Structure 1
Amino acid sequence: MHQICNQYMFLIVPMCRLTTCRSNGCLTMADTQVHRSDTHASTILNGLNRLRKDHIFCDVQLQVGSQLFQAHRLVLSACSPYFDALLTSGLSETHQDVINIQGVQPNIFEHLLGFIYTGHLDVTTSNAQGLLFAADMFQLNEIKQISASFLKLQLHSSNCLGFLRFSQALTCPELSTASRAYIHSKISEVKGEEEFFDLDVETLIEILQSEDLRVDNEYEVFEAAMNWISHDPPNRRKHLVRVLEPVRIPIIQPAQLFRYVEECKDLSLRIATGKLLQDYHPRRKSQASTKVSHAKSLLPSKYYQPRKSSRKRLLVMGGYCKKNSEGWSGWGNTTTLSDVELYDSFDQTWHPFPAMQQPRSGFGAAVIGGTVYAIGGEHESLLSQNVEKYDAVENCWTKMSPLLCPRSSHGVCVVDNKIYVFGGWVGLEMGADIERCDPDDDVWTVHDRLASLRSNFGVVSHEGLVYLAGGASDTGTELRLVESYNPVIKEWTQLASMRTRRSQCAMAVLDDALYVVGGYNSSKNVLSSVERYSLLEDKWIKVKSMIMPRACAGVAVAHGKLYVVGGKGSSRPNTAPPTLDTMECYDPETDIWIDLGRMTVGRCEAAVAVL
C-alpha cells in the first residue's frame, strides 16, 4: 500500500505552480470551489433502499399486522420524529429487535416505508386517507401535506362533510379549511347528501351560522335546517329553536316559509314550526305589526342583511353607448364598450372591474361555478365569434375557443354546466343552429336546431329546461311566441303566448315564474310593460310596469328581486333613441318598481351576470 501511494505522489502538484505570471501582473486561480451534487442524495437513498430490500445491515424489524418489515434504525430515526423518540429515548422499544406497530394497515405502512427510503409515493383515492392518518401518526409532514393536497382535489358534495370530520380529528388545517370552504360554497348541493343528514347538531349549527354560505337566498338555509330536522323528527324536534336561530327569517319571503310548513309531513313538527314563525305569517302581518316590530328591535342587524358570500353582485358588461345628439346623425356617435362594472346589490354601489379584451354589444353571457363567459356579439357592424372568460385568479379576461360562426342578438343560457347558444343573426341571415360547449373541453359543437327562427329574444334556463320568449322573426315581425326546449331529448314544446308582441325584450326566472320585461313593438314603440308566466298554470299575467320604457336592457335576479339595467328609451321623431344609464328593480312581494339611480355610463345591448 505504501509503495502504491509513492507511485502516485508525482500526480499531486503544488497549487503554487498553477499560478501564471503576465507582464502586467499575475493571474491566480480560485483557491476553493464549492460543488453541490444533484445526484448524491438520491444515490445514497437508492443504496439504502437496496440494503433494506436485501436485508443487509437491517437492525430492526417492524411488525405491522401479519407482515414484518426490515429497516435501519438510523434511517427511521432521521426521517420521523415519532421513530426518533421511539428508538432513542430509552423506552423498551429502544432495545427490541421486533417492534409492534398498531393502528396502521400493512399496505399503508409499506407505502410510508417506501417513501422514507426513496422519496417516492403513489397516492390514490383508495389509500389517500390511510396515508394521511398514518403520516399524522408518524409525524411525516411531507406525506401529510401530499395526501391532504390530493384529497382537496377529490372534494365533492357527497364527501366534503366526511373530509371535514376526518381532517379535524387529525388536526390537518389545510384539508379542514378546504373542506369547510367547499361546504360553504356548495351548500345547495351538500344539504341533499346523506352525510348532511348524519351531522350532529353542533356541526350543523356551526355551518348554518357561517357568513360564507353561498346561497341564492336565505330560504335555502331555512330549507337545509328544516330538512335536517325532518330526517328524524322524534329525536331532532327538540333542536328546532337552536337550529333555526342562525336562519335570517326576516329576509325570507313569508309565502316560501309557510308553503314549506304546510307541506311538512310530520304533524307535530308542522305545528311547532308554524307557531315559531307565526309572527311572519302574511295573513297575520297587519294584526301583529306591533309584535313584529318589537321582535325586530330585539334581533341583531345581521338578520336583516344577506350573508356576505350570498350578497349578489351584478356584472354589467359591454354594450354600446350613444352620446346625446339630435337627428339620426346620433347613430354616428355610438361607441361599443369593453368596459365592465360591478354593482353591489346590497350596498347599491358601483365598483370598477377588469375590461373585456374585445368591445361587444348584442352578445350573451353565462356563469358556471363563478366563472363568467362573454359570447359572440357585434363590434363596428361586424359580427363576432369571439368567446372569453373572466379568470378570477389572474383578475383578467382570457380568450377561449370561438363559436362555430359569428353571432349577434342571440340567446345564451346554461344547463347542467354546459353553455347553449340559440339563434340570433349569423351574417345576413338568422341562425337556426344551437351550439353547445362544455367549458372543461372548450369545444363548440352543433347540438340541435331552433323550432322557430328568432333574434333579440328573451332566454332563460330553469330546472333543466330552456325557455325562449318573444323576439323578432326572420320576416322582422315581433313575436308573442313562447317555447320550452329540453336539451337532453332535444324536444320543443310551444307554451301559452305572451299578451304583447315584443322584440328586444329581457327575460329572467324569479320564484318559479318567468318574467319578460320591456322590449320593442312597432305599434307601441319601446315598452315599459312586464309579463309574468306561471309554469304551473301555463298562463301569462300582467304585472306592474317599469318606471320607464326600455328595450335591449340587461336583466338579472338577486335577493328575490328583479334588476333591469340600461337599454334604450323611446325616440322622438327624426332622433336616434337615447341610451339609458338608469337602473330599477322589481319587488314581487309588493308589486313595486324601485328607482336605483344611475350607472356610470349608459349601456344598450349589454349583458348582465350575477356573481
Structure 2
Amino acid sequence: MVSLRARGGNFLGEQDSPGISGCHRSKARMDEVLPDGLLFKDHNFCSDLLRQLNGLRQSRILTDVCICAGSWEIPCHRNVLASSSPYFRAMFCSNFRESSEAKVQLKGIASLALEQVVAYVYTGEAHITAGNVLPLMEAASMLQYPRLFEACSSYLQGQLAPSNCLGMIRLSEVLSCETLKRKATEVALTCFPEVAASADLKELRALELRDYLGDDGLCGEEEKVFEALMAWVRHDLQARKRYLQELLQQVRLQYIHPAFFHHFMAGDTLLQSSPACRDFLEAARRHVFSACGASAPDCRPLWHGPPRSSYQDFLVLVGGRKDNQQTTRDVLLYSTRTGEWHSLAQLPARLYKASAVALHRSIYVLGGMAVSAGHSPVSRAVYIFSLKLNRWHMGEPLLAARYSHSSATHRNFIFAIGGLGDRQELLGSMERYDSVHNVWERVASMPVGVLHPAVAVKDQRLYLFGGEDTMQSPVRLIQVYHLSRNSWFKMETRMVKNVCGPAALLGERIVIVGGYTRRILAYDPQSNKFVKCADMKDRRMHHGAAVMGNKLYVTGGRRLTTDCSIEDSASFDCYDPQTDTWTSQGQLPHTLFDHACLTLQCVPSVSTHS
C-alpha cells in the first residue's frame, strides 16, 4: 500500500498550499468529511466555467447557433442555452427545425433585451434600469428565465408610487406577474387619496374602476370615493356617463356624512339627470339619511353592508377628572391593534360633567360646566373633534345650557337629555341635533326628570334606565322615547337600580354596566326581559363603557372598597359576551372618572398613531 504521508510532512507539505489557505479557502471550498474519505467541493469551479464559456462565445469559438432578433445576431452554444431554459431545451432537444438551423429567429423580443438575456445566461448578471426593465421582463417571461423575471419585478416594486401603481397593476396583468400585482394593488389601496389625484385613475377602464372603488381594502373615506368616480366620469363625459349608475353603487352610502350627501350628492346635476341614479339616491335618503328610515325589504342589502376593512375601531376617552380629581382637557386614544394609548389634541376648555357622543367619524362634546378661575358657568357650547385632522372646532350651540346630562345618537341625530340647568334646576327637557341641516330643535320632554341614567338606542327607541332624582335616590324606571313618534312612555321595574353607570348596545341587547354595583344586566327590548351577566370585579360608578368588535370595554371610574371607602380607578377591562367573562386589558395612563368613553370607526391617519 502506498502511504500518502511523505517524510517530513503531509502529502502537500506540512503547511497548506497558499492557493487554498485562509479566507480564500473558506469561500472556495466547503469540504465534507465522509466515512470513507473527503468530499471536495469547489464552488468557484462553476463560475469559472461560466466565465470561460462566455469568453468562448464572445470569440465565436465552438458556437453552433445564432439567435436573432430582427437583423441582430448573437452567437451562442446550443447546449448552454438548452441547459439554462425549458424554452431552449424544447427548441434544441426536440424535433423542431430550429434544433438543426444555424440561425434561429425569435419574434416579439427587442434586440437589446435578447442580448441582455444571453449575457445573463453566460454570466448570471443583468443590469436592470428604468429604460430596459420592461423589454427585459417580457423577454425573460417568453424565454422562461423565472429568476430574471422576478428580479425585474423586484425592481419595478421598488419604483412603485401612488402616481404609477394603477399602471403597474395593468402591466402586471399583461405580464402575469402576481408578485408585482400584489404589491401594486397594496399601494393603490393604502394610498387612495394620492392615487385618486393621479392621471392614471382617469385612464382606467370602467370595469377596472368598478373593481378598484368596490374593493373592501380601499383606505379612503366614502366622500373621496364618490369624488373620484365623478372626476373619472367627467373626464370623458359622453363616453362614460352610461357607467354612472353601476359605479355609484360602489360608494357605501351609509358611511357618507349626511351633510355631504345633502349638499354635494343629492343635488348633483349629473346624478339628477339620470333617472336610475335619482331613484338610487332617493332610496338612500329614505333608508340612511332620515330619522326613522323606510322598510322596503328589497333595498336593505344596499344600506347595511359592512364598512371597508381599512376602517379601524379606536377607543377614545374625553375629559373627566383624573389624578387628584382635577377636571382634565385630555383626550386619549387606544388602538386594539397596537394595545397602546396615545394623547390627542386637548379639549378647548375644562368641562365638568359634559356629555359626549361619536357621530360621522367625529366626537361631539355637549354642554358641561366650564371650569375657570372664580367662575363656572353652565355651558351651551358644542365642541367637535375630527380624528382625521386631530383638531377641535366649535359646533352649533345647545338650545339650553346643561350639565350632568346624558346624550345619545341615532342615524344622523344627536339627543341631549335632561341634566341640570344654569340655575341648578333639574331638567326634564330633551333636544335633538340634525347633522344634515346643522340645527338643534326641542322634542318631547321625558316623563320623569332623572340624573345619570344609563342611555342607549335600539330599534327606533331611546331607552333611559334608572338614574337618580333630586334627593339622590335611585329611580326604578325604564323611560322609552319613540324617535319617529316623538313620544315617551315609562315602565316601572325592580330590576334597575343604577346611578352613574353607562349602557351600551352589545349585539341585540342593551347592557347596563354597574352604577354603584358590580352587576351587569343585559336587556332584550323585544321580550322586555333582563338577563344577568358575569359581575365586574368591583362596585363601580362614574366609569365609561363602549363596544368594539362585539366586546364591551369598561374604563376607569370610581370603586367602592370592602370598607365602603371610594377610590379612583385606572382599570381597563373587557367583557366577552360569547364566554360571559371579564379580562383585564391593563391600566389607563392615569386614574380617571366622569369621562366620556367612545368608539370611533375610521380610516387610520397620522393622528391615530402619533
**2:137–2:148: 8 Å Cα contact kept in structure 1?**
yes
The residue aligned with 1:603 is 588
The residue aligned with 2:371 is 521
How far off its partner does 1:295 sit?
A: 3.8
How far off its partner does 1:103 sit?
A: 1.7
**Within 5 Å, which residues of 2 pair with 1:317-332?**
none
Distance 2:282 2:108 in 1: 53
The residue aligned with 2:130 is 125
Gaps of 5+ in 2: 8-33, 327-331, 408-451, 453-499, 501-542, 559-564, 575-581, 601-606
**CA distance change for structure 1 residues 54 and 17 in 2, over 3 Å: closer, same or farther?**
closer
**Residue among 251, 271, 282 paired with 1:247:** 251
1:36-87 per-residue CA deviation (whole Å, 9 max, x = no partner) reads: 1120110001111111112211111122234321211111111111122222
1:271-328 per-residue CA deviation (whole Å, 9 max, x = no partner) reads: 65333211233799669944x543444x278x43212x223132779x99989xxxx6
**1:532–1:542: 8 Å Cα contact kept in structure 2?**
no
Give the counterpart letter for 1:521 in structure 2. V
Distance 2:271 2:289 in 1: 24
The residue aligned with 2:237 is 233
Q: TM-score, normalised by structure 1?
A: 0.54
Distance 2:120 2:267 in 1: 57
1:179-214 per-residue CA deviation (whole Å, 9 max, x = no partner) reads: 222222222322222222222222222223322222
How far off its partner does 1:540 sit?
A: 5.1
**1:340–1:354: 8 Å Cα contact kept in structure 2?**
no
**What SS class does the counterpart of residue 62 from structure 1 fall into?**
strand
Q: CA RMSD in A?
A: 5.4
The residue aligned with 2:310 is 310
Distance 1:516 1:175 in 2: 46
**What SS class does the counterpart of residue 38 from structure 2 fall into?**
coil
Identical amino acids, percent of aligned pairs = 25
Confirm whether residue 48 of structure 1 aligns to residue 53 of structure 2: yes
1:74-131 per-residue CA deviation (whole Å, 9 max, x = no partner) reads: 1111111112222232222222222222222222222211111011122222222222
Q: TM-score, normalised by structure 2?
A: 0.54
1:215-273 per-residue CA deviation (whole Å, 9 max, x = no partner) reads: 2x333333333332232232222222322333322333333224333674647657653
**CA distance change for structure 1 residues 540 and 527 in 2, over 3 Å: closer, same or farther?**
closer
Give the counterpart letter for 1:238 in structure 2. R
Distance 2:250 2:45 in 1: 59
**What SS class does the counterpart of residue 208 from structure 2 fall into?**
helix
Distance 1:581 1:270 in 2: 52
How far off its partner does 1:509 sit?
A: 12
**2:380–2:397: 8 Å Cα contact kept in structure 1?**
no
How far off its partner does 1:138 sit?
A: 0.4
Confirm whether residue 165 of structure 1 aligns to residue 17 of structure 2: no
The residue aligned with 2:191 is 186
Distance 2:125 2:369 in 1: 64
**CA distance change for structure 1 residues 341 and 509 in 2, over 3 Å: closer, same or farther?**
closer
What count of residue pairs does the alignment treat as equivalent? 407
**Residue among 385, 394, 397 paired with 1:542:** 397
**Within 5 Å, which residues of 2 pair with 1:37-436?**
37-215=42-220, 217-261=221-265, 264=268, 266=270, 269=273, 273-281=277-285, 289-290=293-294, 292-297=295-300, 299=301, 303-307=304-308, 309-314=309-314, 342-343=335-336, 364=343
**Within 5 Å, which residues of 2 pair with 1:440-459?**
458=346
Give the counterpart letter for 1:542 in structure 2. P
**1:158–1:194: 8 Å Cα contact kept in structure 2?**
yes
**1:212–1:310: 8 Å Cα contact kept in structure 2?**
yes
**What SS class does the counterpart of residue 216 from structure 2 fall into?**
coil
**CA distance change for structure 1 residues 520 and 98 in 2, over 3 Å: closer, same or farther?**
farther
Distance 1:60 1:283 in 2: 73
Distance 1:57 1:509 in 2: 79
**1:158–1:195: 8 Å Cα contact kept in structure 2?**
yes
Give the counterpart letter for 2:156 in structure 1. L
**1:533–1:541: 8 Å Cα contact kept in structure 2?**
no
**CA distance change for structure 1 residues 314 and 283 in 2, over 3 Å: closer, same or farther?**
closer
**CA distance change for structure 1 residues 111 and 527 in 2, over 3 Å: closer, same or farther?**
farther
Give the counterpart letter for 2:305 in structure 1. Y
**2:370–2:377: 8 Å Cα contact kept in structure 1?**
yes
Distance 2:276 2:572 in 1: 49
Give the counterpart letter for 2:314 in structure 1. L
**2:283–2:299: 8 Å Cα contact kept in structure 1?**
no
**1:87–1:93: 8 Å Cα contact kept in structure 2?**
yes
**1:566–1:582: 8 Å Cα contact kept in structure 2?**
yes
**CA distance change for structure 1 residues 262 and 245 in 2, over 3 Å: closer, same or farther?**
closer
**1:218–1:252: 8 Å Cα contact kept in structure 2?**
yes
The residue aligned with 2:512 is none
**2:287–2:293: 8 Å Cα contact kept in structure 1?**
no
The residue aligned with 1:425 is none
The residue aligned with 1:531 is 383
**What SS class does the counterpart of residue 39 from structure 2 fall into?**
coil
How far off its partner does 1:600 sit?
A: 4.3
Distance 2:569 2:378 in 1: 11
Distance 2:244 2:202 in 1: 15
How far off its partner does 1:529 sit?
A: 6.3
**2:252–2:305: 8 Å Cα contact kept in structure 1?**
yes
**2:114–2:139: 8 Å Cα contact kept in structure 1?**
yes
Gaps of 5+ in 1: 1-11, 19-28, 332-338, 344-352, 365-410, 412-456, 459-468, 471-499, 584-596
**1:77–1:84: 8 Å Cα contact kept in structure 2?**
yes
Distance 2:291 2:568 in 1: 49
The residue aligned with 1:8 is none
**1:529–1:546: 8 Å Cα contact kept in structure 2?**
no
The residue aligned with 2:329 is none
How far off its partner does 1:159 sit?
A: 1.5
